[in-house]
Each structure stands twice: as C-alpha cells, then as structure tokens.
Structure 1
Amino acid sequence: MIDIQTFMLALGIGNISFALLMVAYIRDTEPSPGLRIWTWARLIAGATQLMAFARPQLGVPVLVLLEPVGWIAGLALEVAAYCTFFGFRNWQRIVYPLAGLALLVACTAPLAGASYSELMLLISFLFALCAISTAYVLLHPALKNPSLLQRIIGVNDAVFGLAIVVWAAGAVERGQLDLFELGATQFTAYISGYALMIVNGFGFLLMCKQRNDAAMKRLASTDDLTGLLNRREFLARADAARMLALRQRQPIALLMLDIDHFKQLNDRFGHATGDEALLLFARTTDGILREHDILGRMGGEEFALALPGTDLAGAMQAAERLRQATMEIRLLTCGNHYTMTVSIGLVVIESNEDLPAALARADRGLYAAKRNGRNRIEEGGAVRRAA
C-alpha cells in the first residue's frame, strides 16, 4: 500500500498536467463559461498536493499554513466553476463568505494548537461540502434536460461527499485522526473517492465540449437573426417529415410565406426595422405553431412551413391564424405606424411527390397571392403530371 505522500505526489502531477491540457484546449476553442475558473482550481489543487508531498521533507513551518489555504482556494474555485458554467446567479454571496470563514478557521487553528491531522480532518469536511455543493448544482431541478454525463457526475459527487462525511465522522468517533494510521479498507476508499474527483475533471471538460458541439450544431442549422431553421436544415427536416407521413399514411401540408412590401419597409425605415420585422414575425409564429411543426427561413423575407398530420382544411386554418397574427405585429423602430402583412402559398404534399416539387407548387400559390393583392392565402394548384 502506497504512503500518503506518494499518493499526493501522483495527484499533484496529475492535476497540474490536467490543467495544462485545459489550457491547450482553451487556446484552440471558445472556452465555455467556468472553464477558466476550473483550470485555476485544478492548478491550485495540484500545487497544494505537491506542497503536501514536500511538507514533511522540507520541514518548513509556513507550509502548514499555506497548505490549507491552497485546499480551500481550490475547493472554492471548483464550486465557482460549476456555478458559473450553469449560470447560477448570486453564488458569490454564498461561496465567498464560506470560503473566507474556512480560511480564517484553517489559519487560526494551528495557532490555537490544533495538530496537522486535526487540520486535515477539517479539510476533509470541506471536501465533503464541496462535493455535495457541486452535486447540488449538477442535479438542480432548475437545470432543464440534464445530460447523462451531468447526472453521472452529480451522483458521483453526492456519493463521494457523503462517503467523506461518514469516514471523517468515524475517524472522530474512534479518535483515529492520523491519516497514516487508517486501515487498508478506509485508505482504499479514501483514495478511490479522491480519484473519482479527478475523473470529474475530465467530466467537466466533456461537458464543456458537449456545450461547444451543441453551439456549433445550432450555428450550422439555425438562422442567426430569427433563430429559426436555416434553409438547409429546414429542407432536411421537412423531407424527413414527408417520408414519415408517407409511411404512416398521414397528410402533410407545406406553406410558403413572404412578408409583403419588405423591400419598401427596408428602404423607408432602414434595415434595423427590417430586421425587427423578421424577428417579430418569427416570434409570432412560435406562439401559434405546434411543437412538431417545422418552420424555416429560406432567405430574405421568405419562410417555409411544414405541418405534419395536417390536411388542406387544417392548413388553411393555420395559415389564417398566421395571417391575422402578422397584422397585429407592431414595429417599435418605426413608431408603430406600419401594419405588417404576409402572403401565403399552400399545398398538401401528394404521396408520389418529392419535396422540391411540393415547394414549387407552394411557391406558385405564394406568387398567386402576391398577384391577387397580397395579405392573402392561395392554394398552389394540382400536381403537374407528365404528358
């Protein structure tokens, strides 16, 4: 069984190496919130563990005071990193005062005659508090749709924190405050729990990567201004919905929508008003459409909408709701003096019709609505059969 100093040396080298890996990761990507704080937490933890390794050999009294400062600073930064990453507000009001109080106790305890083992027992309770705090952050009900990785780390932290509490309480009860006198079982459990905390470091990095990957996916599939699907993503999802409707023998409607007189709106009031019109139109549709409806911006002021499970009558009703809601939009940048309208072309996709053909028919309906006075809905006509 390895001694505690050798174990601290291994942990110190591992944490500092891990911090250097994070530095390299941050340089090559947009860092997620909290990642820089987490890197500093790993670096301070590693330096403190190296200090714990060197303290018996060097015999420098000041290290007895510096070591608990390092432990507490690293733990506080670890909690801060999680709170920052998940966007918890006002966490500073709790973490900073508790860290300051812990530092005060840790620095005054040796002066009051506390032994090193008693000081490390206090640090163990702080480790438990840190682990339970991070578990609380990871498993907080306010975090919607937590990932499996997030839940695994949260449960791991909770179990680790409770295990440390049980171990430390048992050590106090037995009067075995010296880490060197722990039995093999307790020592193995302590090392295993500590190793799991290092594994959590990789978990934090993976959570950052998950968030970056999700952000890149959103950028690749959504329109920057409106937040709707872009043309490529809309076509992919609409075609998948068409194939599913075909297999299930369900109808699916397709609409092409165009904001009327959009060029004149831009020319008269400026591009800021045009952007506002597009954004408010997107928000308006979000309050009307169903969760499984598919809406995308095809370019400029033109939008496309797929309505799975919707026949012609249902599509007409949905289109009319959109038309009416559009006229209620008020543009602040032009003083609410402009009434927006939208023209809509509508078709129900035939069983033997591909998506481009259906879009072409809906587009013909859109142009018919434009020709017939705008602010109206027109069907796209029947499928054109080859002679």
Structure 2
Amino acid sequence: MKLDSATLFASVTFATFAGVVVMLLFTLSLRHRTAEITFSGIVWAFGLLAIAIGMLLVGLRGSIPDSLSIFVANLVLITGAGLRPNAVASLCGRKPFLWLPFLLSGFWAALWLLPAFREQVYLRVGFVNGAYLASALYIIWLCAFCNTARLVNARILGIIMSLEAVALLIAISHHTLEQYSSYAQSFQTHAMTVYLTLLLITTIGSTMCVAAMALERIQGRFHEQAMEDDLTGLPNRRALFKRGRQMLESKDNRKAPYAVILLDIDHFKSINDRLGHATGDEILRLFGRITKGLLPQGALAGRLGGEEFAIILPGALHRKAEITALDLAQAFTRESEAVLGNGNHATMSAGVLTTGISSSLDVSLKFADACLYLAKREGRNRIVSEDRSGQRAGATSTIATILDQDTGELQRLSIHAPPPTEEPVNFNKLSN
C-alpha cells in the first residue's frame, strides 16, 4: 500500500475512531474504577470523537459545504484537542478545566467572523495547529510536573506528546512556507508524510498510555488500601513503620530530634463486652477522625493493632509532644460520650517520648511503650512523658512526668529504663 498523504490521513482518522471505541469499552469494563478514572476515560474518548469527526469532515472537503468542512470541522477539532488535557489532569490528580476547550473553540468562532482570517488558509490552519500544540504542551507539563502519583506511563505519555508537538511544529512550518513559490514540492510531500506518520503514532500511543495510567491508578489505590487500616483510615502498622523510618531518615529530619506518642484506649475490652463490637468499632473510627483533625502538620499517625495507636512527630520539642497527646486524649474523651451514650465516656492513656537524633524508631517506641505501661499502672487516663533528647545513650534511669487528665495535676518521678537496644517492640504485652 502506498503511504501517500491521503492514505496516512485516512489511517489517522480510522485510528482516532478506533481509539474512541477502545477507550470507552476499556473504561466501562474496569471493575474498580474511581470517579476520576471514569471521568478521564470518558473525556479522553469524547476528545478523540470530536477530533475524529473533525478529520472526517476535513476529508470530505469538496463533497460538502465549506461551512462544514472548514468552520465546523476545525471547531470540533479544537474542542477535542482541548478536552484531552482534562483527562490527563484528572489522572495526575489535578483539577480539570472543562472550560478550556470551549474557550479555544470560542476564539475560533470569533476569528471566523473576520474576513481577513477566514480567507487566509495558513492563518486558519496555523490557529488550529497552534491550539493542538498548546494542548500537547499542557499535557507534557502535566506529565512532567503534576504527576503526584508518580505514574510511569505518565512519563511515557509526556514523551509521546513531545513527538506530537514536533509533528505540529512541522505542520505549522509547512503551511507557513507553502505560500512561497521557492518551497519545493518535494519538501512539501516529505513534510506532510512525516507529520501524518508522527500523528498516527502519537494517536495510538497516547490512547494506550492514558489507559495504562488508569490501570496504574487502580493498582496504586490497591496498594494504599493494603497500607491503610479499614476502620480508622489511618496507616496500619506496616505502613507506619515504613513511612516513619522514611520520614526520620529524610534530609530534613535526619539531624533533628523527634517525639513518639503511644496511645491506648482504656478498658476497650469492656466496651466491646458491654456495648458490643459495633460500638467498639465506632470508638476506633472516632479516634481516627479526631487524630486526622488534630494531627500537627508533618506528623504521622497509625494504628498498631487493637486499641493501640502511635504518632511520630519529627523535629518536635518535648512540650509540643505533650500538648499534642493531651489535646488528642481530651478531645477523644469529650466526643466519645456521643458514641457511648448515657453520660458514659472513654478515656486514653498515653506514653510520650522525646529523643535525640541517634535513637532509632524501634528504640524510641520501646521507651514510649514503657511510659505507656506506667500510665496504665498508675490508674489509666494519664499521660506519662519522658524527655531523652539531651540524655546520653547509656543512661539507665530518667525523670518522667505524669499528667492526670482529670485534675491536670503533674507528678515527677524517677523510672528505671533499660539502655537502648535494637530489639523489636512488643506491642502485645499491655492488658486492659
């Protein structure tokens, strides 16, 4: 088959129509698609549909009125070009701008009213290709700088759209130069062949990449769910340790002290036994909501298991960590009455540990666990805090502060603390 311009143009038109069908069937067949994925798939398909209709009308020029083959054809082409970035923006986690395609097509309609614009082919074609180029550059920008989900296929899409941008620059140059007689016919033929070939490749490749990005988003959501506690919406134990270590080893936090808070809901087993597991689950959800609302910026909270939770505060001073624990415990006690009813409320015990830069997360959690154990031993509904941020590594005792949440009374006492080790923390030793 001879690959002349007419054949290539027909191939691009067919590939665009095929992309519409493929994208719609693909999107609607995804069982675990989110609203963003559904939106992006449908918008990309409708963008391709508008482009395909526009190309079909252009191909029928001479057989249909110019008002259809030129004005309407380019109007829908521009609309389709403007729809595509909205689909990519949704997949990249950005807010789409659905007004963009209508703004571009509105400019086209306004310029069409000007005879000087309407009668000059290179101006009309230059505007349409310019709108296409702006669309391609916007998609490249989205893939390069707004890919918050770090989608691999977004990077590939950026490369493909770069090829489309090159093709459009060739087309713009071709239509600008063809008005000059010195522009050789052979160059015109080669330029259009390269342009349409690149357009065919990018039409197929971009649709495949958008579909692959949707699959990546679904896989990423599954990964997030595997790292999230279903009841509270907080990171689970595995995610807490993974993200916590990454956070403390980051460049910003590597040389800064940090605090760890361990919290335990008092008498949680009794709540389950007396009021049922549904009430116990609601108490856990309540703590998750309160934590999300009160957690300081940059902090990380997670559920260790059962009724035990942990919070990591990078760069936090000891007093800030104590206040954070107190705010959480008091808010939880206050709001739990609405869940338990009849004037009942739940309380929490907490262990707060502020440590220096040399202490690992596992060791810090062990000291915080000792503080939590002391808080429960002293009667629960208490916060025991320990400041080791300025203590030498081999110390075997420290001064702890006990805060009674009901009375606000502070006590200071010496507790025995083992030297730091790399042994894992046993979070199952505490009892209600």
> Deviation of residue 130 (structure 1)?
2.1
Q: Does 1:287 align with 2:289?
A: no
Separation of aligned partners in 1, 2:127 and 2:328 = 64
Q: Which of 82, 102, 123 lines up with 2:88 in the alignment?
A: 82
Instruction: Give 1:38 deviation, angstroms.
Output: 0.6
Q: CA deviation at 1:148?
A: 5.0
| 1:343 Cα deviation after fit | 2.1
Q: How does 1:22-61 map to 2 (within 5 A)?
A: 22-26=23-27, 27-29=29-31, 30-31=33-34, 32=37, 33-53=39-59, 55=60, 59-61=63-65
For each residue in 1:33-73, what CA deviation from the matched residue of structure 2 results, as whole angstroms up to 9, or x when unmatched? 422101111233234334444x16x8222641442233123
In structure 2, relative to structure 1, the CA distance for the partners of 1:140 and 1:296 (3 Å cut) is: closer
Q: Which runs of no fewer than 5 residues in structure 1 stay unpaired?
A: 242-252, 309-313, 348-354
CA 1:75–1:370: 2 relative to 1, 3 Å: same
What residue is the counterpart of 2:195 in the other structure? 190
Contact 1:364 1:380 (C-alpha < 8 Å) held by counterparts: no
CA distance in 1, matches of 2:137, 2:245: 47
Q: Find the aligned partners of 1:126 and 1:376 in 2 and give their Cα distance.
A: 62
State the superposition RMSD in angstroms: 5.4
CA separation of 1:272 and 1:187: change in aligned 2, threshold 3 A: same
Q: How does 1:311-330 map to 2 (within 5 A)?
A: 320=322, 323-327=325-329, 329=331
Structure 1 residues 90 and 71: alpha-carbon distance in aligned structure 2, compared to 1, 3 A threshold? closer
Give structure 2 stretches of 5+ with no counterpart.
248-258, 354-361, 386-414, 420-432
Kept in 1: contact 2:349–2:383 (CA 8 A): yes
**Aligned position for 2:137:** 132
Q: What corresponds to 1:18 in structure 2? A: 19
Matches within 5 A, 1:1-387: 2-26=3-27, 27-29=29-31, 30-31=33-34, 32=37, 33-53=39-59, 55=60, 59-61=63-65, 63-65=68-70, 66-86=72-92, 88-89=94-95, 91-105=97-111, 114=119, 119-140=124-145, 144=148, 147=151, 149-154=153-158, 156-157=160-161, 160-161=164-165, 164-165=168-169, 167-169=171-173, 171-175=175-179, 182-198=187-203, 199-224=205-230, 226-231=232-237, 233-234=239-240, 257-260=263-266, 275-284=285-294, 286-287=295-296, 295-299=301-305, 301-304=307-310, 320=322, 323-327=325-329, 329=331, 342-344=348-350, 366=372, 369-374=375-380, 375-377=382-384
User: Alpha carbons of 1:179 and 1:318: their partners in 2 closer, same or farther (altered >3 Å)?
Assistant: farther
Task: Report the secondary structure of 1:183's partner residue.
Answer: helix
* Percent identical residues: 20
Higher share in helix: 1
Q: How many residues get paired? A: 362
Deviates more, 1:180-189 or 1:337-346: 337-346
Amino acid paired to 1:150 = A
Q: 1:133 to 1:322 in 2, by over 3 A?
A: closer
Q: Which moved more, 1:150-159 or 1:19-28?
A: 150-159
